[in-house]
Chains A and B, each alone.
Chain A
Amino acid sequence: MTSETMAVEHGRQNLNRLLKWWTGLVLALVAWGIAYSQLVPFSEYVTSLLPVARDGHTGEAIAFFFYDVPKVMMLLALIVFVMGVIRSWFSPEKTRAILSGKREGVGNVMSASLGILTPFCSCSAVPLFIGFVSAGVPLGVTFSFLIAAPMVNEVALVLLFGLVGWQVALTYLTFGLGIAIVAGWVIGRFQLENWLQDWVRDIHRGAAVQAAVAVDRLDHVDRLKFGIEAVREIFGKVWIWIVIGIGIGAVIHGYFPEALMTRIMGADAWWSVPAAVLIGIPMYTNAAGVIPIVEALLGKGAAVGTVLAFMMSVIALSLPEMIILRQVLTLRLIAVFVGVVGSGILAVGFLFNLMF
């Protein structure tokens, strides 16, 4: 075989591969759409198989469970896949290059937005923090990233959208970003570089910035594979939380007395917002577990602001993450972080209870 025919052969194989993947993708989307349109009949059918009265408490709870679980799983699969593909264009290294030397203000806005798009795992929060700071990303801008990345994530947004509605999802996105931007900016204003751990302060500028790793060239198929990998990983982590969360939500739906809920989490109980934030801090579950419960609480008359504050506190102010960050931040700086972010969440909670 001459090199020319080999090249042609290689090109054809590549084309076949692309074609195969795109056809598969389109077929999968069509199957997804058909399955999604059958969710209600499916849950009614499953409920009718069980020996319970459809319109009793138990029947209500079961129908709710078998409608919500598959619905949320399907929405999650689709969005996590799309986000996985989008994230294949981003990396912490690129984000750092964009943010390094950015002024505060603009930097905080960009940082919070990139926090949503950059692949991030709380297990590498420390190396990321040092990588940012030593590359000249201002401290406050780094914080905007670290607040937005876990708080505004696709799992939370999908669950809010699927279970509560797009209005609350959009509100969460907007105010989550808002808190990350403002809190990062405020922390930057305080000029707390001295409150980093000593060893972090001593790192010379640029010391932790190595020559960029040669990046693998990715083609379309690689990016689609990224998406599939993301779905597999997220599902492995959250499916059990979704099932438990929706299970508890279903019980609340079917049995919890509405009057009691309105009294303890209604808009008139002003203390419920700070209480919700405080309770949320030591609670460590991801968005997948808390949102189904949130939805059920809302349905029983809990106030939107209180519930939003609770959710943001659970997701953004988590004890395990603070323990991880303790390696680079002094306790004083962690206290400022919790104080500033907590105040932001409180403000959002009160604002919403006033508005709605």
Chain B
Amino acid sequence: MKSVKVYGPGCKRCETAEAMIKEAAAKLGIDVEVEKVTDPKSIAMAGVMSTPGISIEGKLVHTGGLPKEDALEKWLQG
């Protein structure tokens, strides 16, 4: 089970990012637990300045805009 966090105040792109993560994980057969972090303080303290930000197993892998699909798969596998 991999823990994934999506940082964002709940904008549309944050939701899209969450859906992309779930889809990619399902495709790769990886078990993930996606948590949405919407509190601006926590978002800021994680070092995210542009949303959505994505962290996998506590490591920030992406900030700002939607991730590329192939990159997302690589992060999930890594």
Contact = CB atoms under 8 A, between A and B. Distances in A.
Interface in A79-103: 91-93, 96
Given A124-B9, A203-B45, A216-B68, A210 B50 contact: no
Given A126-B44, A127-B44, A208-B44, A213 B62 contact: yes
Nearest to A95: B49
A210 B9 contact: no
A210 B54 CA distance: 13
B71 interface: yes
A265 to B, nearest CB: 36
Contacts of A190: none
Interface residues of A, number: 30
Contact of B47 (A121, A208, A327, A328): A208
Contacts of B9: 123-124, 126
B27 interface: no
Interface residues of B, number: 23
Contacts of B51: 121, 123-124, 127
A207 interface: yes
A31 B47 CA distance: 44
B49 A131 contact: yes
Contact of B60 (A119, A123, A213): A213
Contact of B64 (A91, A209, A327): A91
A244 interface: no
A127 B40 contact: yes
Contacts of A356: none
A92 B49 contact: yes
B49 to A, nearest CB: 4
A209 B47 contact: yes
B4 interface: no
B49 A127 contact: yes
B50 A207 contact: no
Nearest to B63: A213
A131 B48 CA distance: 8
Contacts of A209: 47
Given A121-B51, A123-B11, A124-B9, A131 B64 contact: no
Contacts of A334: none
Interchain residue pairs A-B with the least CB separation, the first 10? A210-B47, A130-B44, A126-B40, A131-B49, A127-B44, A92-B49, A124-B51, A127-B43, A123-B11, A92-B50
Interface of B: 7-9, 11, 40-41, 43-51, 60-65, 68, 71
Given A121-B50, A199-B41, A328-B40, 7 more contacts: A96-B49, A124-B43, A126-B41, A128-B49, A132-B49, A207-B45, A210-B60
